[in-house]
């Protein structure tokens, strides 16, 4: 896949525009290195718990593992901590706060303690723009979850089928023979 086709492909896979988190403080690094070690801690324990719960509601465990097993919450914290600038983090933080506030109003408990059905209802409100900052939060958060999931080992090798070295190309391969669609 060359750069001329890459963007179309990524957008196709993720089904949305790419959330553009930014790195911090890189201007001071003479030889920039991408952090692959421990992520920057940016969530409070309560925020982390809510991100974890909502990730799993967006990509739940079914016959394949869900977002938590695929490490999506850690991926999100890594992207926001090491990759994002303040404005982009704010979309997520504000959305989490709005969901919590609505949960307190409707269910008298923080969203992380709400039932799965109640959490789904809160996410639906966000998706439909019925919470302050709901739609931008939902779009950005869902995209982080999807990106984290389908680029994880579980997403690539269990939810989808991975062909590390296809060897051959067949441009008319029967869909009927495809058990899980191929990772790109």
Dihedral angle, C-alpha 29, 47, 62, 70, nearest 10 °: 20
183/177 Cα distance (integer angstroms): 15
- What's the min distance (Å) between Cβ of 2 and another protein? 5
Give me the residues that bind another protein (CB under 8 A), please.
Answer: 1-6, 8-9, 12-13, 15-16, 18, 20-24, 26-27, 30-32, 34, 36, 57-60, 62, 75, 78-79, 82-83, 85, 120, 123, 127, 142, 146-148, 151-153, 156-157, 159, 162-176, 178, 180-184
- What's the min distance (Å) between Cβ of 8 and another protein? 5
Among candidates 90, 85, 122, 89, which has minimal Cα distance to 103?
Answer: 122
Measured distance between the N- and C-terminal CA atoms of the chain, rounded to whole angstroms: 9
Considering beta carbons, is residue 6 or 104 the nearer one to another protein? Answer: 6
- What's the min distance (Å) between Cβ of 87 and another protein? 12
Considering beta carbons, is residue 31 or 45 the nearer one to another protein? Answer: 31
108/163 Cα distance (integer angstroms): 48
Considering beta carbons, is residue 112 or 126 the nearer one to another protein? Answer: 126
Considering beta carbons, is residue 26 or 44 the nearer one to another protein? Answer: 26
- What's the min distance (Å) between Cβ of 20 and another protein? 5
Do 47 and 73 contact (CB within 8 A), yes or no?
no
Strand-pair partners of 161: 182
């Amino acid at each position: 896949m060359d750069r001329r086709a890459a963007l179309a492909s990524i957008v196709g896979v993720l089904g949305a525009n790419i959330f553009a988190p930014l790195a911090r403080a890189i201007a001071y690094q003479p030889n920039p290195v991408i952090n692959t070690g421990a992520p920057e801690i940016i969530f409070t324990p309560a925020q982390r718990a809510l991100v974890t719960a909502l990730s799993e509601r967006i990509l739940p465990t079914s016959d394949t593992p869900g977002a938590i097993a695929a490490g999506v919450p850690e991926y999100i914290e890594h992207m926001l901590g090491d990759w994002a600038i303040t404005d982009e983090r704010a979309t997520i933080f504000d959305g989490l706060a709005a969901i919590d506030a609505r949960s307190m109003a409707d269910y008298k408990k923080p969203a992380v303690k709400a039932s799965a059905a109640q959490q789904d209802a809160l996410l639906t409100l966000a998706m439909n723009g019925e919470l302050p900052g709901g739609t931008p939060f939902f779009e950005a958060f869902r995209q982080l979850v999807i990106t984290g999931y389908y680029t994880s080992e579980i997403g690539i090798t269990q939810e989808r089928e991975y062909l590390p070295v296809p060897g051959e190309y067949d441009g008319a391969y029967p869909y009927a023979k495809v058990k899980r669609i191929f990772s790109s």
